[in-house]
Chains A and B, each alone.
Chain A
Amino acid sequence: MTMKGFDHGNRGIGVRNHQLILPSVVCSTRVSSRIAKEMDAITFAHQHGCGFIGNDVGRITDYFAALANHPNVSSTLIVGLGCETLQGNELADKLLSKNKSTNYLVTQESGGVQGTVDSGVAAAKELRTKYPTPQVVLPRLHLGIDLSNESPVVTDLVAALADVGVDVTISSSHKNSGLNFSDLMEAGVHVILSFPDSNQPASGFPLIPTINVASNSPLHLALKDDFDLFASSSVAEIIEKIYAVVNGEQTKVEVIGAGEIIAAREVRSV
């Protein structure tokens, strides 16, 4: 099976071609969403970047860096406010050492909200022009499995994926899919196959297409339209769906635009 990919330089070859508008602090999430909407780029809301201390500063900086360095990302525009703890320019420097297709801007130095949206759109366009993304063949797929719920199909599935040369990372540390997604993102997986807890709905992660597999729980049966696959799906059907998604088919949560990040913290905010 040939898999389509996008050459994202040092980030690797991705299965999506997403520009990331990364708010480095909660205060710039709205500005980021305005830029992303205009550019048809990816962004997300979060509550981090300021009023935090201790290990969390490094933890969240590393988390954002992992997002920006993800293979599904074509280029990254960091949007900061200016006075926050997590400084956008330091994050940008960290990213630039690996990927030149990175830029950052700061609301307090860009004339306010409208000024930042305008310069943000211009900067995002410039990144796209300067760093075009060649379409290539994806040589090797890295699949992440969120095993929030036990599934009898997984053992056979992992064996079958190994046979066809797919790398697999399984995260089952949490009952919370969102936290497993974050672990899988940091591992750099191209696509996530999620088996959510039987009492949890289908959910997704920004940048990474997420295929949701239902269990036979009453909740999942009631929500079957939100799932891509079912408890009855065979190994062959699951693999077929994975290849379709790699080659561009949107998952149910991608269609809805769902995808929140859940980033863990050690210490309460100050």
Chain B
Amino acid sequence: MSNQLTAFERSDGRWGLRNHVLILPLHSAFSATARKIADDSSGAVAVSHDWSGEVDGDFDRIVKTISGFAANPNNFATIFITIGTPNELAIIELAKKIGLGKFEVLNVAELGSMSKIADIGLQMANSLLKEAKLSQRISAPWSAIKLGQECGGSDALSGITANPALGVASDRLVGLGSSSVLGETTEILGAEHLLAARAITPEIGARIVETVARYERSINYEGIDMRGAQPSRGNIEGGLTTLEEKSLGAAKKAGSAQFSGVFEYADQVINPGLYFMDTPGHDTEQLTGFAAAGINIVVFTTGRGTPTGSAIVPTIKVATNTTMASAIPDLIDLNAGTIADGIATLTDVGGELFDLILEVANGKLTKAEKGLHHEFSLSRMYNTVIR
């Protein structure tokens, strides 16, 4: 296997590992039209969401998420479907500021109807796809890789097999100059002091601890004890006993490198190094936030097995145990259960995963990509019952 990383260089110098044409509705009512354009096209992707322009406490977070997603370097181009309100146009402006180079705007109020949008959008998407095929991958530096670490449906083996294997791969990438990001604030609760001790400055360490405490306060404020909901029932069935056990295992994904900083949800990841980002543990809210942050590849470890993927970011599934990996093979890209089986060492599987990350970065499709799993979720902070 060639050890050379190749990628698509964007006009602002960022690197894409995919060359997607994304159809992005800026209002929930256009979700079906966006999906139709993508389905009818020769390979465009689309997402659906439930934001219909409301301006509430979550407005800035939603604008940041959608614009970051639009501007992800894995997109060759983004086609926005908009009513043309100032709030929707603000999303496009922010996406441009982040670095979105190529985009088109389908303004429903100018074009007159959703069926016209579907027709014009289809032509536009196919013509951009043709253009995208002409751009070539070129040799890229390791800093082109912005890796997101995720786990979901953890079990008793997560902290012994798949998560530490990801830690090995992450350490190697960080050593080469890539960016690597640990998220899931709710799932490091109880292990934050260990991560803080690995921060490059005491200030960054304190921020890791405060970020976890802040999340817990925001839930306690609602009169709910987050510790009562974790580990989840699926985790317990998978053999996890306590939140601390789950968190200690989840933290293994970050390997042993030092933490260079802490990001808010969907902040742009620009520099090399290992970072922590404040995200929910909710798989698709996290994955969407990673994509919005410019992360261009994700490794997702799982004990119970999940099909989840992103429309624009390749998501590599690593199984923690052989039983699950054999039972649902069309979800899993790599089985780290071999470590527990005594067949392979942590170093072996970490190395295999590193090689697989490089292959996927260079264009090999993941199971989630082949299955067209394009889940998208907006992360909100506030009560939406009273809006």
Interface residues of A (CB under 8 A from B): 26-31, 45-47, 50-54, 59, 81-85, 87, 107-108, 111-115, 174-179, 199-204, 218-219, 222-226, 256-270
Give the distance in Å from the alpha carbon of A51 to the alpha carbon of B108 in the complex: 35
For the complex, what is the distance from the CA of A114 to the CA of B367, rounded to whole Å? 12
A-B interface, 8 closest residue pairs, ranked by CB to CB distance from nearest: A83-B234, A51-B282, A225-B113, A47-B377, A112-B328, A269-B282, A203-B29, A83-B304
28 A-B residue pairs with CB within 8 Å: A26-B284, A26-B377, A27-B284, A27-B308, A30-B373, A50-B283, A81-B304, A85-B233, A107-B328, A108-B324, A111-B327, A112-B307, A112-B330, A113-B371, A115-B328, A178-B50, A218-B109, A223-B108, A256-B32, A256-B114, A258-B29, A261-B50, A262-B28, A264-B383, A266-B385, A268-B382, A269-B379, A270-B280
Contact call B219/A178, Cβ cutoff below 8 A: no
Are B31 and A260 in contact, CB atoms less than 8 angstroms apart? yes
B258 in contact (CB, < 8 A): no
Q: How far is the CA of A59 from the CA of B53 in the complex (A)?
A: 24
Verify if B295 is at the interface (C-beta below 8 Å from A).
no
Question: B222 contacts which chain A residues (CB < 8 A)?
Answer: 54, 266-267
Interface of B is mostly: loop
Would you call A258 and B109 a contact (CB within 8 A)?
no
Q: Which residue of A lies closest to B50 (CB)?
A: A262
- Do the beta carbons of A179 and B32 come within 8 Å of each other? no
Q: Which residue of A lies closest to B302 (CB)?
A: A83
- What residues of chain B lie closer than 8 Å to A107, measured between beta carbons? 305, 307, 328
Cβ contact within 8 Å between B113 and A30: no
Stretch at the interface among B14-22, B125-133, B224-232: B224-232
Instruction: Report the Cα distance A268→B283, complex, angstroms.
Output: 13
Q: A201 to B29, Cβ gap below 8 A?
A: yes
Q: Which residues in A have their C-beta under 8 angstroms from that of B308?
A: 26-27
Q: Is B210 an interface residue (CB 8 A)?
A: no
CA distance A46 to B49 in the complex (A): 8
B residues near A223, Cβ cutoff 8 Å? 108-109, 112-113
* CB < 8 Å neighbour of A83 from B153, B224, B383: B153
Using known A-B contacts A45-B48, A258-B33, A270-B229, determine if residue A51 contacts B283 with beta carbons closer than 8 Å: yes
**CB-based contact A260/B50 at 8 Å:** yes
**What residues of chain A lie closer than 8 Å to B384, measured between beta carbons?**
264-265
Complex CA–CA separation, A59 to B382 (angstroms): 16
- Size of chain B's interface in residues, with CB distance under 8 A? 74
Say whether, besides A268-B219, A269-B282, A222 and B112 are in contact (CB < 8 Å).
yes
Contact of A269 among B108, B153, B280, B375 (CB under 8 A): B280
Least CB distance, A216 to chain B, in whole angstroms = 15
Give the most central of B218, B381, B384: most A CB within 10 Å. B384
A219 to B36, CA, bound (A): 23
How far apart are the CA atoms of A45 and B110 in the complex, in Å?
28
Please state if B378 and A47 are interface contacts (CB–CB under 8 Å): yes
A199 CB contacts on chain B under 8 angstroms = 53, 83, 85
Contact of A30 among B118, B218, B372 (CB under 8 A): B372
Report chain B residues within 8 Å CB of A270: 186, 219, 226, 229-230, 280-282
Shortest A41–chain B CB gap in Å is 16
- B residues with a Cβ closer than 8 A to A are 27-33, 36, 48, 50, 52-54, 83, 85, 108-110, 112-116, 118, 153, 186, 218-219, 222-224, 226, 228-230, 232-235, 237-238, 280-285, 304-308, 324, 327-331, 371-385, 387
Query: For the complex, what is the distance from the CA of A222 to the CA of B84, rounded to whole Å?
Result: 12
Instruction: Point out which of B306, B374, B376 has the most chain A C-beta atoms below 10 A from its C-beta.
Output: B306
A267 to B223 CA separation, bound complex (whole angstroms):
10
Of the candidates B118, B232, B307, B379, the one having the most CB atoms from chain A within 10 angstroms of its own CB is B307
Among A53, A256, A269, chain B packs the most CB atoms within 10 A around the CB of: A269
State whether A219 and B109 are in contact (beta carbons under 8 Å apart), knowing that A87-B233, A256-B115 are contacts in the complex: yes
Chain A residues with CB below 8 A from B33, complex form: 256, 258
Rounded to whole angstroms, the CA-CA distance of A201 and B383 in the bound complex is 24
**In the complex, what distance in Å separates the CA atom of A111 from the CA atom of B326?**
9
CA distance A46 to B30 in the complex (A): 15
Within the complex, the shortest CB–CB distance from B184 to chain A, in Å, comes to 10
Neighbouring B residues of A179 by C-beta, 8 Å: 387
Whose C-beta in chain B lies nearest to the C-beta of A202?
A: B29
Q: Are A51 and B53 touching (Cβ within 8 A)?
A: no
The closest CB in chain A to the CB of B85 belongs to A199
Roughly how many angstroms separate A92 CA and B243 CA in the complex, as a whole number? 29
**Chain A residues in 8 Å Cβ range of B379:** 268-269
Closest to A259 in B: B32
In the complex, are the beta carbons of A258 and B31 less than 8 A apart?
Answer: yes
Contacts of B383 in A (CB 8 A): 264-267
Residue of A nearest to B375 (CB): A26
- Are A178 and B28 interface neighbours, CB within 8 A? yes
Return chain B residues, CB-CB under 8 Å to A53.
219, 224, 226, 228-229
Q: How far is the CB of B80 from chain A (nearest CB, A)?
A: 15
